[in-house]
Amino acid sequence: MSADLRGKLVVAISSRALFDFEEENRAFEESNDAAYMRLQLDRLETPARPGVAFQLVRKLLAFNTSDTERDRVEVVLLSRNDPVSGLRVFRSAQHHATPIERGVFTRGRPPFHYLHALQSHLFLSANPDDVRAALAAGYPSAQVYPESAHASEAHPDEVRIAFDGDAVLFSDEAERVFQDQGLPAFQRHEASKAAQPLPPGPFKPLLEALHRLQQAASSGSVSMRLRTALVTARSAPAHERAIRTLMNWNIAVDEAMFLGGLDKGPFLREFQPDFFFDDQTGHVQSASRHVPAGQVHAGVRNEG
């Protein structure tokens, strides 16, 4: 019987998002792919250090049990690396006791078109062009900031994921009003439409998949838990539409922060997520000083 990914949370991740390959990447940028390949081959027996998204992946894989028929999460390497460099990636994963079995290596070609075959719920990459292409194709994707702080180890039995709202979980409909007409018009617009659910944003499918994972884990013998947070610049009265939208989707987040334009970084430092997703460069840069962060290149803020 062939393997099947249906019913699983599928995360596709590039090698630079999973491991610290910044020195190797500099060799590529300063020379060529041949220099990169030689360096990776020379270091074949040297395990790479964990990268920004490593702890997120490690914790998600902990939802799987020893009974492979009950595996709930699949992590697949999806990388522009060449197959030889891929050897080091797999060996590094093995060294760090991270059970990743599948990988696609395209030697410089854009890899995002394999997301359909993988039925991916999330694609993490340090390459912004690949992320934009994946988002355009309809897959939740984020550009990992390799310089981000690594996740706290304070919650070893809990995956913590934080999301921005507009242009991430929700569409950028309201954000466009804010950009065109300013804050008072935005507040009036959202208050008048409080009972009307916002259209879904690019990360709704991931939130749905996480919700299913959370429900499955709560009914089984899995020690890992999942905690989600909405971290948004919205404030009252615009908060109501966001809450009602989640209610309409039958999805509950564990925490919601309506910050009214306050810097998100300090609040994320307290929440201690394993990853944070936001569409705005400034918010991601602020967050990355405290927590692992990635940019969702979607919405009006990323046009042009």
The catalytic site residues sit at 164
**Which positions ≥6 away from 30 have C-beta within 8 Å?**
none
Tokens for 50, please give them: 């964990």
For 275, the 3-state DSSP assignment is: strand
Distance of CA 8 to the CA centre of its chain: 16
> Rounded to the nearest 5 degrees, what angle is found at the Cα of 10, between the Cα atoms of 7 and 13?
175
CA atoms within 13 A on the CB side of 139: 28
Which amino acid is present at 30?
Answer: E
Whole-number Å distance between alpha carbons of 276 and 266: 13
For 83, the 3-state DSSP assignment is: helix
* Closest of 103, 113, 13, 112 to residue 58, by C-alpha: 13
Whole-number Å distance between alpha carbons of 194 and 212: 26
Query: Looking at the chain, how many residues does it have?
Result: 304
DSSP strand pairing (275-278 vs 102-105): unpaired
